[in-house]
Structure formats: structure tokens, C-alpha cells
Amino acid sequence: MSQNLLDKELYNAGFTLTKPRKIVTKKILELSSNHLDGDLCCESEGIDHSHTFGSEELVSSAPDIGRATIFRILRNLSDIGSLCKIETDGGAVYTRSTSSRHHHHLFCVKCGCVTDRHFPAFEKIMKNISSTEDWNLISHQLVVYMECLNCTKK
């Protein structure tokens, strides 16, 4: 994956490509394309597939850059839709977003891989809820916790 992808998305969203930003986006691309054991992440499953990383992992991989700066960049990238934040038992993790449209995630509890998915049937259920509830529905999230193809094969 090319380093410039996240940089380009930041730039297009109006951010200046400072040196810390460039270092952090490079680290993010490394972390999100590699398994912890260094293997490329399930390449055969296609490009809609990305590895997750924790914010602490990112902080320790870029020791020259301040914590606050790293967290700010993570928030910027989430805001512009380049990263998705996923809640897990072990805390929130981040992953590359492959779709700028509203989507949901399949998350592998074993290796931490993520795939973006669209669930039209689920959206219909959400619409039903929204029309039957008195509350004002703002948004929704769905993470499906699974074991990926690679992990079930092992």
C-alpha cells in the first residue's frame, strides 16, 4: 500500500502535511497492513481487508511524536472517514476505511482483521426502529465479532 494514500486524503480534506502527520500516517499504513507476526494481512481476501491497531500501539511505534499529536491525527483521520474506530473487549482499535459510505464491520477476534460490509437488510431494520420509536435516532453502529477465513483454517 502506498504511503501517500492517507496523506492524500488528509491533504484533500484541507490539512497541511506536516512532518509529524507524514510519520504517523506511514506508521498507520504499516500497522494496518501487517499482522503482528509480520505477515501481510490475508492478501487473498482482497482489498476490503485491513488489520486493526490500538492507539497505544501507534504511540509506541512513533516515539518521536507526542501522544497528544498522535491522538489528534487519529481523530482527524476518523473525522474525514479515512479510519474507522471499532470497539472491542480490549478497548477501541482503528482500521483503514475502504468505504466512505456508511458501513459496518466484521471483526476477527483472533487476529484483529476487519472487513467493511454493507447490510441493506440491517439498514431496513434500523429504519423501522426509527419510525416506531418516539426517540430521535441519530446514528447506529454494528460490529460482528467472528473468526476470519484464515483463522478458522488454522
Site residues (vs Zn ion, CB under 5 A) = 84, 97, 108, 110-111, 113, 116, 148, 151
73 versus 84: smaller Cβ distance to Zn ion: 84
CB of 148 to Zn ion, least distance (A): 3
Please say which residue, 10 or 111, places its beta carbon nearer to Zn ion.
Answer: 111
Q: In whole angstroms, what separates CA 58 from the centre of its chain?
A: 13
Largest pairwise CA distance in the chain: 52
Q: Is 53 helix (H, G, I), strand (E, B) or coil?
A: strand
Its sign, for the CA torsion 97, 95, 79, 17, is negative
Closest contact distance (angstroms) between CB of 152 and Zn ion is 8
Residue number with CB closer to Zn ion (13 or 144): 144
Instruction: Give the nearest distance from C-beta 103 to Zn ion in angstroms.
Output: 6
| Residue 19 amino acid letter | K
Please state, in angstroms and rounded to a whole number, the distance separating the CA atoms of residues 128 and 131: 5
- Residue nearer to Zn ion on the CB measure, 18 or 100: 100
Within 10 A of 142 (CB to CB), how many other CB atoms are there? 13
Nearer to Zn ion, 69 or 98 (CB): 98
- Least CB distance to Zn ion at residue 111 (A): 3
Q: How far, in Å, are 76, 132, 139 from residue 105 at the CA level?
A: 20, 26, 15
Least distance (Å) from Zn ion to the CB of residue 22? Answer: 23
